[in-house]
Amino acid sequence: MRKSIIVFVFFVLMIVLMVGCAPPTFMAPVKVNVTPDDNITDVSIDIDQNGMKHIVGLKDNRVVYFKGNIGEPTYQFTIGWGLLLPGTDTSTWKQYQPEIAVLDNGTAHIVWWEHHGNLSQKIACHYEVPLIFDPYDLIYCHRLDEPTLYTTGLVRVIAKGNTAYAVYDRLHSSGYVDSVWYKKMEELSSTGLVVSYLDVLEEAYIFSMDLAIDNNGKLHLAYIDEATYSPNPRLYYRSNATTNMDGSMSQNWAIAFGAPGLRENVQPSIDFYNDFVMIASVWENSGNQMIYVDRCNIIDCATKSSISTTSLNADWNSSSEILEVEGLGTFSTYTLSFIGHNDLSSHDQVWYWVSPFSGNPTQVTDTTNAKSQLNMVDGFIPVIGFMENWQVSDPIISYLEKVSIYEGGEGLREVGTYVCPGLSKFNSSDMAAYVDLMSDSIPVAGIWNYCGTTRFSTNAYLIDLPIILK
């Protein structure tokens, strides 16, 4: 008996010692729902320093919140409408596009927009989930902006360490964007201007935006817009790393101010590497699409440079197409992942390329299936997630939908494949990770809404599973 205990203890100690360098294993996906087999759409996920996963999504046009670690996330609450007069008709009230960001200590910030029956009056909303949640609290929209001001639907949130920001726009009476604002969530009175179109008499529309927070707690944004005085979409970078006296962002770079070729339907990707802000975007010239990476200093953005990564490669310089791109800086590398095809094939694949982008990018997939929903997170090394779907007709027309992850250590691994009778029902996905270099394990998790259901999966080490160890 004593010998068995010694062997068992030795085995556990070896696991703990090895887990820091061993690759994570993603668990079989579990369903995320309020009631069995319901459909949670528009999903978003984040992770706190204890490895706890925080998830939001939509059920019947209402924001729902879940929380959990390894197993099936537990439903916590549905966001309501607040105190209402008796008889108030809320049948046409709806909530949209929730996002979640979590501080290290587990405080979660949820943002979304809602309307109360009038789609021209979209309200930018926020709710803070406290560390100690009281189920008897009223859970409803706390406006990010003034009571008489509305949004076009641009409402975002991001967190890093103990800092969180919300970003939202204001609707002009013309229906275009009046201005964009940021709010530091720990200091709700700390609000600053990102950009004002009204001040320069422009009417503008914002196609997409990506956010990042640096190690100093400063917010950085990359976005694509189109405005009155530009014949083509524009790519902008702005940050509160430097500000004016009123808190408005003074650090900015007009990366592309109306030059033709910027693909507005591909969201730019912003992150950091060494002392630089890195912004990846997709351009097209003479029928060939290419990835550009623009960079400048995190503080002051004084030294600027640009490189067209794919167009310098002989296999990518004549008829390539790029559908999605993600850029990620880790402690040692800057990595691009993207979905697209080069000149040698018309089938879109998932690719992986590490700076300085010499040689050829690594081809992750080799199938004819449609690919989408690219995510890449920092699991100490980049972890890529994506979706594939393809049609089958035996015995009836159906779609197969498959979720996979890829990382350099273990290569390509399947998370799950499901049969969807009838049309493909894929809706949304998100992934998150929490990097703590002092920890033995780095939690990575993903949530995917497909086949009319929502499923969650996360990596797991044996030290995360005390029930198994017992």
pLDDT digits (tens, 9 = 90+) for 382-433: 999 999 988 887 667 788 889 999 988 888 988 888 888 776 666 789 999 9
Question: How does 395-407 read in b/e, with b if 16+ C-beta sit within 10 Å?
Answer: eeebbbbbbbbbb
Q: How far apart are CA 121 and CA 140, in angstroms?
A: 17
For 73, phi then psi, to 5°, come to -60, 145
**Is residue 383 domain-shared with residue 355, that is, in the same domain?**
no
**Is residue 119 domain-shared with residue 19, that is, in the same domain?**
no
| Rounded average pLDDT over 369-374 | 93
**Is residue 185 domain-shared with residue 218, that is, in the same domain?**
yes
**Is residue 241 domain-shared with residue 328, that is, in the same domain?**
yes
How much is the pTM?
0.91
- The whole-number pLDDT of residue 263 equals 96
Residue 336 maps to which CATH number? Answer: 2.130.10.120
**Is residue 66 domain-shared with residue 160, that is, in the same domain?**
yes
**Is residue 404 domain-shared with residue 432, that is, in the same domain?**
yes
pLDDT digits (tens, 9 = 90+) for 260-309: 999 999 999 999 999 999 999 999 999 999 999 999 999 999 999 999 99
Q: State which residues form the domain around 266.
A: 38-370+458-469
**Is residue 111 domain-shared with residue 230, that is, in the same domain?**
yes
Structural domains counted in the chain: 2
**Is residue 431 domain-shared with residue 465, that is, in the same domain?**
no
The candidate with the shortest Cα–Cα distance to 235, out of 279, 297, 301, is 279
pLDDT at 21 over 70: no
- The whole-number pLDDT of residue 115 equals 97
pLDDT digits (tens, 9 = 90+) for 153-194: 999 999 999 999 999 999 998 899 999 999 999 876 789 999
**Is residue 416 domain-shared with residue 437, that is, in the same domain?**
yes
pLDDT digits (tens, 9 = 90+) for 50-87: 899 999 999 999 999 999 988 889 999 999 998 888 88
**Is residue 383 domain-shared with residue 278, that is, in the same domain?**
no
Calculate the average pLDDT of the chain: 88
pLDDT at 460 over 80: no
**Is residue 96 domain-shared with residue 15, that is, in the same domain?**
no
* 8 Å CB contact between 282 and 294: no
**Is residue 352 domain-shared with residue 213, that is, in the same domain?**
yes
- The whole-number pLDDT of residue 398 equals 82
pLDDT digits (tens, 9 = 90+) for 387-396: 998 888 766 7
